[in-house]
A and B are shown apart, each in its own frame.
Chain A
Amino acid sequence: RKEVEQDPGPFNVPEGATVAFNCTYSNSASQSFFWYRQDCRKEPKLLMSVYSSGNEDGRFTAQLNRASQYISLLIRDSKLSDSATYLCVVISSGGSYIPTFGRGTSLIVHP
């Protein structure tokens, strides 16, 4: 089983829709969680950190469920410009603290 798993998609949604992605992790020693956004042929950019209490940044909400070992990203009122790949990143304290990437979830927002 891979350490960090994501549904690759693509998720194809109309503008204005609400869409959610999940990311599961297998290492219970995982302590830090992030969502990155990557556009085609560009570098990954930090979208948001994920905190135990959940956190919101505008149209984006991130949640952590430690019991079930997954994090989620909710995007409300999708815009065309939200089309990208969303990468889940997990850092575990039990090893070398190297960020581990999921394979990414592709989102396509259409008019």
Chain B
Amino acid sequence: DTEVTQTPKHLVMGMTNKKSLKCEQHMGHRAMYWYKQKAKKPPELMFVYSYEKLSINESVPSRFSPECPNSSLLNLHLHALQPEDSALYLCASSQVLGSTNEKLFFGSGTQLSVL
């Protein structure tokens, strides 16, 4: 069983909707990640938070807005998405960012469909 919890598991939204994806971990990890994965492709990094500060933004469009309220929680706010944003959104955590031996632990993902 994964120790990274994501909600919701499935989400269908229209292009004018605002929704949020949530991620929670209680492993004491200080690095948290958002990945986007399309079918038959590898996970694609979107954002990384380290010690609750945004460390990396991989040139993600502003219609995706991350938030890290505390060390256990990570949100991804969605607004005015496009159909091509439909994908599996994965949250992950690792102990810290900056170590070469960091293992990623993934949540089960949110399957997002934008209509």
B108 adjacent to chain A (CB < 8 Å): yes
**Residues of B with C-beta under 8 A to A98:** 45, 48, 56, 97
A11 adjacent to chain B (CB < 8 Å): no
**Residues of A with C-beta under 8 A to B40:** 8
- Interface residues in chain B, defined as those with a beta carbon under 8 Å from any beta carbon in chain A: 2, 40-43, 45, 48, 55-56, 88, 90, 97-109, 111
Q: 7 A–B contact pairs at CB < 8 A? A: A32-B101, A32-B102, A43-B107, A97-B97, A97-B102, A103-B41, A104-B42
Total number of residue pairs linking A and B with CB closer than 8 Å: 55
Query: What is the minimal beta-carbon distance from A91 to any residue of chain B, in angstroms?
Result: 5
**Interface extent on A, as a size class?**
20 to 34
A93 adjacent to chain B (CB < 8 Å): yes
Of residues 74 to 111 in A, which have CB atoms within 8 Å of B's CB atoms? 87, 89, 91-93, 96-99, 101-104
Main secondary structure of the interface of A (DSSP, over half): loop
List 8 extra interface pairs beyond A44-B90, A49-B103, CB under 8 A. Answer: A8-B40, A43-B90, A44-B43, A46-B105, A49-B101, A91-B102, A101-B43, A103-B41
**Residues of A with C-beta under 8 A to B42:** 87, 101-104
Which one of A8, A31, A42, A46 lies within 8 Å of B104 (CB-CB)?
A: A46
Report the bound CA distance from A49 to B45 in whole Å. 20
Query: What is the minimal beta-carbon distance from A76 to any residue of chain B, in angstroms?
Result: 24
Report the bound CA distance from A73 to B109 in whole Å. 26
**Residues of B with C-beta under 8 A to A31:** 100-101
**Residues of B with C-beta under 8 A to A59:** none
Report the bound CA distance from A91 to B109 in whole Å. 22
B98 touches A97 (CB 8 A): yes
Of residues 2 to 47 in A, which have CB atoms within 8 Å of B's CB atoms? 8, 31-32, 34, 41-46
Closest to B99 in A: A97
Query: What is the minimal beta-carbon distance from A5 to any residue of chain B, in angstroms?
Result: 11
**Residues of A with C-beta under 8 A to B90:** 43-44
Question: Given that A41-B111, A44-B43, A103-B42 are contacting pairs, would A97 and B103 also be in contact in the complex, using a CB cutoff of 8 Å?
Answer: no
